[in-house]
């Protein structure tokens, strides 16, 4: 799952990117870059469907948009 986003990051020479999120629809997987390169296995995981069922989400909000805004570059 990491091949395509990794190629985007490397192709666009985004050297400061340290985390990549991928999805298979209802799951988000986080990959991390260290000094030796990208981890082949996810270092984090979120099941969006479970979050949506267990919590009442505020109207007009998006889990993905919220996660994007949490990036250090967005602060």
- The confidence band for 26, taking pLDDT boundaries of 50, 70 and 90, is confident
Q: Is 47's pLDDT higher than 50?
A: yes
Q: How far apart are CA 12 and CA 47, in angstroms?
A: 29
Is 0.85 topped by the overall pTM? no
Q: Is 18's pLDDT higher than 50?
A: yes
Mean of pLDDT over the chain: 79
The structural domains of the chain, with segments of one domain joined by +, span 3-70
């Amino acid at each position: 799952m990491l091949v395509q986003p990794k190629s985007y990051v490397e192709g666009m020479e985004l050297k400061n990117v340290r985390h990549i999120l991928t999805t298979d629809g209802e799951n988000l997987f986080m990959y991390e870059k260290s000094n030796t390169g990208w981890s082949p296995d996810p270092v984090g995981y979120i099941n969006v469907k479970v979050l949506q069922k267990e919590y009442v989400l505020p109207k007009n909000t998006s889990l993905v948009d919220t996660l994007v805004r949490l990036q250090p570059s967005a602060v």
